[in-house]
Amino acid sequence: MSSQFPVIDVQANAPDLPEQQGTKEKFWFKDSDGRDFLFKRIRDNTGEHWAEKIACELCSLLDLPHAHYDLARWKDAMGVVSPSFVPAQGRLVPGNELLAKQYHGYDPKKFFGQNDHTVKRVITILSRIARIKPPASMDNILPEMTASDVFIGYLMLDAWIGNTDRHHENWAISIHISEGIRLAPSYDHASSLGRIEGDKKKEQILRSIGGDAAMIRYVEKARSALYKDITDQRPLTPLQAFEEASLLRPGSSTYWKNKLSNISDESIIEIVNSVPKEMMSSFSVEFVVCVLAVNRLRILTCVEGKK
């Protein structure tokens, strides 16, 4: 029997500084020990909080560097809290700034339809700038892994959970005088796992004649914020983005696929069942488990040897 994830109560007078990136209501605050935390409020009638928490726990199963998230409540607003992953006296440089410096004409302010944001360009930047090291958590797991190797793990996570929000501000590097330059942990995974679908639609997909066919059609509709080529008008799906990266660094793809393959169904179900029942309907629980099962099979069977 799984225990429920705790819900953190954020003090009413907690807000310190607003967070400028993104579209959700966010603010920074300090806990009783003086540590910096970010509160992100969910949009109405969505499961963004449980999607973010589930994705966080799935990252832990993969040993994938990630921002930690806890379910949270501020006044009457539900959301998640996350401690800052930027070292004290360090700074975060998002991908749009890196791409604008490396590629002439790249518009760092173009948020939607940014077809200059290609998988190859991101992998190239992370490989070309030799000083970019992986997140510190990888030092004791696989010291020889590069920043681009780890980023491919981020793309596999996106394909697994159906994350549609890996835009050019949702990956970054951190710069610190003693830590050096590192790829930032993966963050902002709330746009995933069918978090905006109502129970009626979820039931319709789950009970559709033909078994997993309806679910496969559903997950194939997801679009990432990454493109294959700068001339493309439509972004890749999360799975296609991972496939594209796999062609560039097949050894990295194999490593992360093996990590995914070794995760038990029981551990996944335990995570999903740990979300408080009042936050997540039974249809949402069943739907998320099905999404993860279908996407895992797609990753493990469709990427190998892709040309």
What are the residue boundaries of the structural domains of the chain, listed by start?
7-83
Q: Per-residue pLDDT tens for 191-219?
A: 999 999 999 999 999 998 777 899 999 99
The closest alpha carbon to 63, from 135, 146, 138, 162, belongs to 138
Residues constituting the chain: 307
Dist CA 68 CA 161 (whole Å): 16
pTM: 0.94
Q: Check residue 14 and give its pLDDT.
A: 80
The closest alpha carbon to 37, from 58, 16, 22, 6, belongs to 16
Q: Check residue 143 and give its pLDDT.
A: 80
Query: Out of 3.30.70.980, 3.30.200.120, 3.40.50.300, 1.20.120.530, which CATH number does the structure's domain 7-83 have?
Result: 3.30.200.120
Dist CA 261 CA 277 (whole Å): 28
Question: Which stretches of the chain drop beneath a pLDDT of 70?
Answer: 1-2, 16-24, 303-307
Q: Check residue 119 and give its pLDDT.
A: 98
Taking the CA atoms of 151, 155, 161 and 166 in sequence, report the sign of the dihedral they define.
positive
Q: Check residue 59 and give its pLDDT.
A: 98
Dist CA 296 CA 160 (whole Å): 6
Dist CA 170 CA 152 (whole Å): 14
Q: Check residue 307 and give its pLDDT.
A: 44
Dist CA 48 CA 89 (whole Å): 30
Q: Check residue 16 and give its pLDDT.
A: 67
Q: Which residues pair with 71 in a beta bridge?
A: 7, 80
